[in-house]
């Protein structure tokens, strides 16, 4: 059972959030505002009322090493987003996991998450949004938090030019009487109208574990205006963070 905030559950979106001019234009006819995969954070844009996206890990993987040994976890996480209008969006998330370490193997469903996102229309080259969520304690025993977690996140994006964008993400997770915090920065670049890459860096203060930092990079490809494929990886630079993280994902838009 985990005793600290699991930041890997909230890794989505800074890269995709930039809505770089090329691939954003390819989806504009469908009013697709982009996806919360890949990268840390979330996209500061909401779906139109009644529109839906499904974002699925295929799966994501993390490796942690310390003095007691190593453990590897595979996570096929699912995020369902529903636009409700008035710059608001509902999100429902869960996951299926496999954890191996110390000669033991556990598998099962992770905790469920319910979230609300607020993101007003972008102003020029700047956009921002807020996300609040609650993570329940309904997962399998090996993947269940000991108590509910409450997250508040804020994302800020700047479109620097037609191909390049930057983003900042701030997050606080409260569990019981303890808080865990994270700050992430990102830069993304559109190689073609449908293909972009990003680099990211974050620092965190995890309750009960201390400080940590990571750096990573990834790619995303708009296969069609409704379907995006992504791949990314991160490496621990120091402190309380998984040694390695990597993942593949697919995101699908079901708007009008």
Give residue limits of the domains in the chain.
Answer: 7-253
DSSP annotation of 140 reads: -
Q: What is the pLDDT of residue 30?
A: 66
User: b/e per residue, 55-75, with b = 16+ CB within 10 A?
Assistant: bbbebbbbebeeeeeebbbbb
Closest listed residue to residue 79, CA positions, set 98, 109, 56: 56
- Which uninterrupted H or E stretch holds 49? none
Query: pLDDT tens track of the chain, all 256 residues?
Result: 333 334 444 344 444 444 443 444 445 546 789 999 999 999 999 999 999 999 999 999 999 887 777 899 999 999 999 999 999 999 999 999 999 987 789 999 999 999 999 999 999 999 999 999 999 999 999 899 999 999 999 999 999 998 999 999 999 999 998 999 999 999 999 999 899 999 999 999 998 889 999 999 999 999 999 999 999 999 999 998 899 999 999 999 998 7
| Backbone φ/ψ region at 39: left (φ over 0), alpha (ψ -120 to 50), beta | left
Homologous superfamily of 7-253 in CATH? monomeric porin ompg (2.40.160.40)
Closest listed residue to residue 38, CA positions, set 222, 256, 255, 225: 222
Is the previous residue joined to 59 through a cis bond, with omega within 30 degrees of 0?
yes
Q: What is the pLDDT of residue 172?
A: 97
Contacts of 23 (CB under 8 A, 6+ apart): 190, 193, 194, 195, 196, 222
Q: Report phi then psi at 24, rounded to 5.
A: -65, -40
Closest listed residue to residue 11, CA positions, set 70, 71, 77: 77
Q: What is the pLDDT of residue 32?
A: 87
Q: What is the pLDDT of residue 2?
A: 39
Closest listed residue to residue 214, CA positions, set 231, 204, 202, 198: 202
Per residue in 121-172, pLDDT (tens digit) is: 999 999 999 999 999 999 999 899 999 999 999 999 999 998 999 999 999 9
d(CA 254, CA 181): 33
Q: What is the pLDDT of residue 17?
A: 45
Neighbouring CB atoms inside 10 A of 132's CB total: 13
Closest listed residue to residue 37, CA positions, set 81, 74, 4: 81
């Amino acid at each position: 059972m985990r005793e600290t905030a699991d930041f890997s559950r909230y890794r989505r979106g800074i890269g995709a959030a930039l809505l770089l001019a090329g691939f954003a234009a390819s989806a504009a006819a469908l009013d697709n505002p982009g996806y919360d995969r890949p990268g840390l954070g979330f996209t500061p844009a909401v779906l139109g009322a009644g529109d839906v996206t499904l974002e699925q890990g295929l799966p994501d993987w993390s490796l942690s090493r310390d003095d007691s040994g190593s453990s590897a976890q595979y996570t096929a996480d699912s995020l369902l987003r529903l636009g409700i209008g008035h710059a608001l969006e509902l999100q429902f998330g869960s996951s299926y996991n496999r954890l191996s370490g110390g000669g033991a193997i556990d598998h099962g469903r992770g905790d469920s998450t319910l979230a609300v996102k607020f993101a007003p229309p972008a102003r020029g080259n700047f956009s921002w949004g807020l996300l609040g969520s609650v993570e329940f304690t309904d997962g399998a025993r090996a993947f269940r938090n000991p108590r509910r977690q409450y997250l508040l996140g804020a994302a800020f994006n700047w479109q620097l030019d037609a191909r390049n964008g930057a983003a900042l993400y701030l997050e606080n997770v409260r569990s019981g009487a303890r808080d865990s915090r994270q700050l992430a920065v990102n830069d993304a670049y559109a190689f073609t109208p449908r293909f972009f890459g990003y680099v990211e860096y974050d620092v965190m203060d995890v309750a009960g574990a201390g400080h940590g930092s990571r750096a990573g990079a990834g790619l995303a490809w708009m296969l069609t205006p409704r379907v995006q494929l992504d791949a990314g990886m991160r490496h621990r630079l120091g402190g309380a963070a998984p040694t390695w993280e990597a993942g593949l994902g697919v995101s699908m838009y079901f708007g009008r």
